[in-house]
Amino acid sequence: MVRFCKLLIENVKKSIVEAGFRDGEKMPSVRKMAERLGLSVNTVHRAYKLLAQENIVQLVHGKGCFWGSAPTIEVKPEESVYSVVERLFQNDLDSGVLKAFDGLPSCKELSSRYNVSPYIVKKFLMQKSALGILKHVGHRFFFSEGRTVEKSNYVLFIHRSDEFGHLKIESERESDVFRIFAQIAAEQKIAVKFIGYHEASNQFFLSNGESYTIKNEMHCLGVFLSTWLVEDVSKLFAHFASFKNPISVWWEYAPDMVPVSARNRKKWAFYNVAFGKEAGVIVGRYLKNKNVGKVHYLSPYHASFWSKARLQGLIEAGTDVVPLVDERYASPFDLKDAAELAGVESQKFLNNILESLLKNATMDKFVCSNDWVAASLIDFFRAKKLPTPYVVGFDDTIESYRYVFDSFAFNVGTMVNEAIYHIVAPSIYAEQRRQMQTPLGRVVEKQ
């Protein structure tokens, strides 16, 4: 009998070790462990008691059984462990660590990343599988495909255009979205129809200038709808009031500016890649980790929500920041329009604003509201034959590589990946999440 018990203990110990429990981590209940090992509850109970006598596990009255030493802090219910994993899993989706079209990392990898046992991770993923969000193939987990994509299927990509249907692509971010969208769609064998929206006439056009009518069509999987520089999004959204297929909206305004008619609509998902305070928070934390200290926030576009949000993010991250801002303009496009009206070249117009703002500068460390401002700031210091300042920008454009300064890269790839997947699997993926999704970016170091 003693030999039997010792053998049983060794088998239980081996099973627990293979499950990867960490010191102080709560183990499954006797009943759950019995189910897992295919043993009787009585046998597992005896094994737990013997393991406790050997100080391999700790039995805490009213709390349960713990591997190694008992926790010194109050033990939270087992459900809270899964809520933590849920939050971390969600963060990894937002940041692009987990990609909708790719297989998930192994349970062991996620266990290490989330600092919980593989047992907890696998149970969490199995719960997602039971809900139909994931599928389980062998030892791997994947997001469920949702709908089968046939050769005849296509996705509409709608972006602003002129009256001839020529798409207007005037920024690096727009170029990135088009390029990444086409790349991911090609990898998933999804055809894309690019449709221009001319706001002045409130009409849609094909690239050859022919008019196009939005309609429900069996081969259309859904729509990727760009709001970039669209002034009246309600007028654009009205065309899709009776549209039945999923719609992914590239939302380039403040999150609370979504028209009431489009809020919380089934099969609609919004992706705000650049207009929240999160970017400022990430830059602020980056500065603190580098011990940069006190900085100026330099923005000639502070009439905008996004400039104010980035400053607020810096402040919330604990950055010691002094604003140098101009509140007359809301974007580089507004500034360029003002320069044209004044009959001044846009770069000179911006330089004049910066020179005025920099009269109040008291240090040589700056966070700039975008890369154009950052590059112009460096040119200003060089023209004055002053040492190049420490600069961090936003957008991670080619200018940040030419001038060699750190810049925040917005997570366009994750936005596009999730937006396409929402069209393919609207009920499995996006509807399990909040309607306004903000994929997180990162600071790209150049020095």
Q: pLDDT tens-digit profile of 414-446?
A: 899 889 988 988 766 554 556 788 888 899 999
CA angle (49 as vertex; 46, 52 as ends), nearest 5: 150
Q: Are 30 and 52 contained in the same domain?
A: yes
Q: Are 379 and 433 contained in the same domain?
A: no
Please state the domain count of the chain. Answer: 4
Which of 143, 172, 189 terminates a domain? The answer is: 143
Check residue 75 and give its pLDDT: 44
Question: Which DSSP symbol is given to 281?
Answer: H
Q: Are 284 and 185 contained in the same domain?
A: no
Least confident segment among 65-69, 240-244, 329-333: 65-69
Q: Is residue 137 part of a domain?
A: yes
Q: Is residue 209 part of a domain?
A: yes
Query: How do residues 11-20 score in pLDDT, each as one tens digit?
Result: 766 676 666 6
Q: Is the pLDDT of residue 246 over 80?
A: yes
Q: Is the pLDDT of residue 27 over 70?
A: yes
Strand partners, 298: 324, 368
Q: Are 336 and 247 contained in the same domain?
A: no
Q: Is the pLDDT of residue 73 over 50?
A: no
Strands 220-226 and 247-250 come out as parallel
Query: Which residue in the block uniquely carries the two structure tokens 């460390």?
Result: 365
Q: Is the pLDDT of residue 1 over 70?
A: no
Q: Is the pLDDT of residue 409 over 90?
A: yes
Which of 121, 143, 165 terminates a domain? The answer is: 143
Q: 115: closest CA among 35, 18, 247, 22?
A: 22
3-class SS at 52? helix
Measure the CA–CA gap between 249 and 268, rounded to whole angstroms.
Answer: 7
Whole domain around residue 437: which residue ranges? 154-274+413-444
Q: How many helices (H) and strands (E) does the chain have?
A: 15, 18
CA angle (438 as vertex; 436, 439 as ends), nearest 5: 140
Q: Is residue 384 part of a domain?
A: yes
Check residue 72 and give its pLDDT: 52
Q: Are 402 and 346 contained in the same domain?
A: yes
CATH code for the domain in which residue 29 is found: 1.10.10.10
Q: Are 47 and 166 contained in the same domain?
A: no
CATH code for the domain in which residue 382 is found: 3.40.50.2300
Which of 143, 162, 187 terminates a domain? The answer is: 143
Q: Are 199 and 138 contained in the same domain?
A: no
Token output for 168: 């207007």
Query: How do residues 148-206 score in pLDDT, each as one tens digit?
Result: 778 888 999 999 999 999 999 988 999 999 999 999 999 989 999 999 999 999 999 99
Q: Are 260 and 337 contained in the same domain?
A: no
Measure the CA–CA gap between 222 and 155, rounded to whole angstroms.
Answer: 5
Query: How do residues 108-134 score in pLDDT, each as one tens digit?
Result: 999 999 998 888 999 999 988 887 788
Q: Is residue 149 part of a domain?
A: no
Q: Is residue 148 part of a domain?
A: no
Check residue 144 and give its pLDDT: 75
Q: Are 347 and 333 contained in the same domain?
A: yes
Q: Is residue 320 part of a domain?
A: yes
Q: Is residue 73 part of a domain?
A: no
Q: Are 90 and 185 contained in the same domain?
A: no
Q: Are 215 and 137 contained in the same domain?
A: no
Question: Rounded mean pLDDT of 249-261?
Answer: 88
Q: Is residue 234 part of a domain?
A: yes
Token output for 133: 């969000």
User: Is 0.85 topped by the overall pTM?
Assistant: no
Query: How do residues 300-326 score in pLDDT, each as one tens digit?
Result: 999 999 999 999 999 999 999 999 999
Question: Rounded mean pLDDT of 319-344?
Answer: 95
Measure the CA–CA gap between 211 and 161, rounded to whole angstroms.
Answer: 12
Question: Checking phi first, is residue 424 left (phi over 0); if not, alpha (psi -120 to 50) or beta?
Answer: alpha
Q: Are 166 and 250 contained in the same domain?
A: yes
